[in-house]
Amino acid sequence: MGNPYPKNRNAAERRSQQNRMRQDRSAYERPHKKRRKKKEMGKILFLVVILVAGLSLYHHFRDNGYWTIAVFGVDSRDGNLGKGALSDVEMLASINKKTGEIRLVSVFRDSYLRISNEEEKYDKINEAYFLGGHEQAVQALENNLNIRIDDYATFNWKAVVDAINVLGGVDIEITDKEFAYINSFITETVNSTGVGSYQLEHSGMNHLDGVQAVAYARLRLMDTDFNRTERQRKVLGQAMEKAKSSGFKTLKTLVGAVYPQISTSIGVNDVLTLSKGAKKYYIGQTSGFPFSHQEMKIGKKSCVIPTTLESNVIQLHAFLFDDTSYAAPQSVQEISSYIAKKTGLGDPGKDTESGKNIGAEGNSGGGQTGGKSEQPAAAPAQTEPAVEESSAAGIEESSESAEETMEATENTETKSQEEPETSSGVISAPQDRPGSSESAAPDHEMTGPGTSNAPGNSSNGPVSSNAPTAAETNAALEAPGQNAASQPEEAGPGV
């Protein structure tokens, strides 16, 4: 018997066929739609990441297009980067977002300023860090200089040693006066950082590893604190140029080696993102603050007196931010008036570098460099440090994380202690100096050569096994022919 409902049967077949076609079509279309959705979602996530990264960096740049960072370098043997540490370096870095220029100002550590608003206490500016860590130091700089500091970074000398070793060293012209003292500082830096190095054999152009570069940056006794800060900026400028010419892998290694050793408000992701665009940034003008100053004793302390603070602050804003219409607020005027009455130095002086009157129109401050830094010429092959290649390689092998990087650095240093170099100029390992302490106030800080009979430059051989004690080293290593009894009291800054 045939189907009594052929029309309905045909309709049922058509519906069944349509369902099969839809199923077949969906089998091909559904993965395509999923891929399309995933692609669109990927674009959205990428935009979100870019937006977040952009905001995290953009917040650093103020409305005027500058990012201002306070940089502190502390002499800390126990790793302490907070209060109680001695601040050897205080710098302000002004980064121009539009041009990429970085202007540096070294604030002389002996500058006589107000270090506490609550007690209205005046002292050397580095006393603020000793008493209250970076919080009080940043606040003191902001109050005295009327500058809003966006971020801070504190490092010890070990971090600088590792950074310069990762970058392959720097090329520095060593004067005869500097050479007379530098090997004593190299010996002391080896002992304080735990990183091996070797002593220099001559003045003139030298390729310096991390220890040698730090020793150079800490030299002062043969001249003044002003020359010392200039040397620090020179080392920083060369390191910056090396970083610019390095690949991202090296920069990642650099961040991994140094970041765990510093205290900073800048996130590691921000640092890595900025390092990708490192070629844009360059060290422009550098100078020291106060631009105009006199040196005098207040009590028993040798201090650097700004003449006057108000006129120096006006010039500082012109130097860092190109703000030639800036006028010092009442708060700065009050601090300036107190210092003038206390010292009797109430007349604005002349810029020690330009010779112009402080705060005068067209005078935006001194500067050792007026434009982009040039890449230094290669140093002679015979001056390359014996330990730099191995220590840098040891760090680079573990760039995956900060912890792995630091472990590799420690392994490299341990190896250098177990297998001492045999060449005549090598300091094979740091000398154990138990009991070293940094609890002394800044007035009793290590001042470099000048007061003890520790090894000087008279010998380029290995460090003697009877190394100086912690007290002797902190009292200072001296150059040949120098001793405390024969030297008059130095009136310059930093004493």
pLDDT value for 405: 40
Q: What are phi and psi of 61, to 5 degrees?
A: -90, 125
Do residues 314 and 359 make contact, with C-beta atoms less than 8 angstroms apart? Answer: yes
Which two three-digit tokens encode residue 53?
Answer: 């990264």
pLDDT value for 175: 94
Q: Which of 445, 494, 442, 443 is nearest to 473 (CA)?
A: 445
| Cα separation, 135 vs 137, whole angstroms | 6
Do residues 239 and 163 make contact, with C-beta atoms less than 8 angstroms apart? Answer: yes
Q: Which of 137, 112, 138, 62 is nearest to 289 (CA)?
A: 112
Question: Hey, how many other C-beta atoms are within 10 angstroms of the C-beta on 8?
Answer: 10
Give the right CATH number for 68-495 from 3.90.550.10, 3.40.630.190, 1.10.10.10, 3.40.50.300.
3.40.630.190
Q: Which of 460, 388, 467, 457 is nearest to 196 (CA)?
A: 388
pLDDT value for 6: 54
pLDDT value for 208: 96
- What is the pLDDT tens value at each position of the chain, 495 positions in all? 555 555 555 666 767 777 776 666 555 555 555 555 555 555 454 444 444 444 444 445 555 689 999 999 988 777 788 888 888 889 999 999 889 899 999 999 999 999 998 888 999 999 999 999 999 999 999 999 999 999 999 998 899 999 999 999 999 999 999 999 999 999 999 998 999 999 999 999 999 999 999 999 989 878 777 788 889 889 988 888 888 788 878 888 888 888 888 999 988 777 666 666 667 888 899 999 999 999 999 999 999 999 999 999 999 999 999 999 999 999 999 999 999 999 999 998 877 666 666 655 445 555 544 444 443 333 333 333 333 443 444 444 434 444 444 444 444 444 434 443 434 455 545 554 433 333 334 443 333 333 333 333 433 433 333 333 333 333 333 333 333 333 344 433 333
pLDDT value for 9: 58
pLDDT value for 61: 56
| Cα separation, 260 vs 262, whole angstroms | 6
Let me know the angle formed at the C-alpha of 103 by 82 and 64, rounded to the nearest 5 degrees: 95
Distances (CA, A) of 320 to 82, 151, 314, 346, 385: 27, 16, 10, 24, 36
- Any idea where the domains of the chain sit in the sequence? 1-58, 68-495
| Cα separation, 416 vs 157, whole angstroms | 19
Cross-strand pairs, 94: 68, 103
pLDDT value for 120: 86
